[in-house]
Amino acid sequence: MVIPIDNGVHTREDLWSLDVWDPTLLWYARAMGQMFKKPLQDPSSWRYQAAIHGYVEGDPDLDALMQPGDEIPDDAGAYWAQCQHHGWFFLPWHRAYLGYFERVVRKTIVGLGGPADWALPYWNYSDAAHNADVARLVRPEFIADALPDGTPNPFSRGVSRNPFNTVATPKGQAGDFNIGPNDVRLKCLTFPHFYDHASASSFGGGVTAFSHGEGGLDVEGGVEKTPHDNIHGDIGGWMDSFETAGLDPLFWLHHANIDRLWSVWMAAPGHASPTEPSWLNPAGPGFPYRFHDENGLSQTFAPASVLNSETSPFAYRYQDLHAPPHVMALAAKLQIPAAMTAAPPPTPPQLAGASDVNVDLSAEQVSVELPIQDQAPAINLAAVAGPGPRQAFLNIENVIGSGRLETRYIYLNLPDQTSPDEEPDLYVGSMPMFGVREMSLAAAGGGNGKNFVLNVTDVIRHLQQTGRWNGDLVRVFFVAKNPPTPGSKLTAGRISLYYR
């Protein structure tokens, strides 16, 4: 059901809590159908909204959607291909992006005779409390051929996604896109800082300027990596590229959940968003961010205006802001001290050891050795494994790839002849491929590839507790989620271990 506006605040509902073809979904589908017919240059059209995230002339998927009368607007340079990735603007920019999109859809729904209370639902694929057995499935409405009245379903008609299996659920035949528990793990909620130095993991991402994903040291936040990137790759098709992701109606439900996770993280004790003016009200090339509102009027936006979703220009709240229980258990294992300030420690993590350069990760399973430097007395990674606030970060630097790329799952010091399934405590995280292809192209800003940072403190502590940590050599084991496609190529510039 559509929850009525409360004191001017809309409520975004949990997708799997909705009834079959609930009005929230039905009106969303009708609005999508209406918006898809509009010309590309109309800011209230579905394709214009997707182009705000990314657009490249000549993209075959986008060209296939061109209609007579479509034009590239003169001001496309200021409004299109603006998505902020791999840095600390990821969350606030997408919050505003969703907010304006929601207002455009709501106006369309009202125009069609629908409810003015409508708000985007969120897809809580990490839900282990209420809908654990179905949370990672795609709702039947998004794969059904037709709407309840028998007309074609915009949610699925012509939408490009990965192949999937169907699974019977109480809400109908849902889509199984092979989204695994590791793809939706919320370790990110345990990270104490919104941002951090480039070689440390943080919740929201490293400090960047306007960032469409170009920098050699830029690093995404924990929430942007997992679950955000994983879901993009698992759904695949349009969702697997900056330029087409916004065309899939699931994109908006996925990002509503990412936005919700920001609120969940903020609600935890000791957590705070940055207070730096360069984040709150950024200036310089590329700023301020620009959007069109539901009336087609140009609006500028700064992160300072969206810190609180209820008092933001978009006035919404989420139905549920509870962190899943497994996050609490993870936080205890990591022994991460609660942040006392929004800013991270001033000293960046120190390099402890690194692999050779240009490591080929193309095979289904790859093991890479990192010798730990004995020249640095303070490195003593045994101290990481002992009690105290010391943290260790695995960096997979400058990852580039081509072809169809599969997510990698990563383990530390996995014994020879041992299946990863036998040692779940040695799992450190995933390396989803969303954005890797784009960031490998020289034309996209240097072809520096993507950096991944994983907090491995809990695994090192586990290795020490089980007598399998010597502190001289770390072995990083990569296993592909699915067998790599022949001809696909994946390379890491270097793999390194940092500590603080």
CB nearer to other proteins: give 263 or 362. 362
CB nearer to other proteins: give 156 or 448. 448
Nearest approach, Cβ of 96 to other proteins (angstroms)? 17
Task: Bin 95: left if φ > 0, else alpha if -120 < ψ < 50, else beta.
Answer: alpha
CB nearer to other proteins: give 114 or 221. 221
CB nearer to other proteins: give 19 or 356. 356
Nearest approach, Cβ of 197 to other proteins (angstroms)? 8
Q: How far apart are CA 97 and CA 52, in angstroms?
A: 8
Q: How far apart are CA 348 and CA 333, in angstroms?
A: 23
Non-local CB neighbours of 481 within 8 Å, separated by 6+ positions: 178, 180, 406, 407, 408, 409, 430
**Which residues form the interface with other proteins (CB under 8 A)?**
77, 197-199, 207, 209-210, 212, 214-217, 276, 278, 282-287, 348, 350-351, 353-354, 356-358, 373, 375-376, 397-398, 442-443, 445-448, 493-494, 496
Nearest approach, Cβ of 430 to other proteins (angstroms)? 21
Nearest approach, Cβ of 40 to other proteins (angstroms)? 20
Peptide bond into 227 cis (omega under 30): yes
CB nearer to other proteins: give 20 or 444. 444
Nearest approach, Cβ of 485 to other proteins (angstroms)? 25
CB nearer to other proteins: give 136 or 212. 212
The pairs formed by 251-255 with CB atoms below 8 angstroms and a separation of 24 or more are: 252/98, 252/101, 252/102, 252/120, 253/15, 253/120, 253/121, 253/122, 253/123, 254/123, 254/228, 255/94, 255/97, 255/98
Q: How far apart are CA 420 and CA 390, in angstroms?
A: 26
Nearest approach, Cβ of 431 to other proteins (angstroms)? 16
Nearest approach, Cβ of 395 to other proteins (angstroms)? 9
Q: Is 19 exposed, middle or buried (0-12, 13-18, 19+ CB in 10 A)?
A: exposed
CB nearer to other proteins: give 21 or 478. 478
Nearest approach, Cβ of 473 to other proteins (angstroms)? 14
Non-local CB neighbours of 229 within 8 Å, separated by 6+ positions: 220, 432, 433, 434, 435
Give 119's Cβ-side CA count (13 Å radius).
28
Neighbours of 427 (CB within 10 A): 20
User: 385 and 460 in contact (C-beta within 8 Å)?
Assistant: yes
The residue whose two tokens read 């997708």 is 15
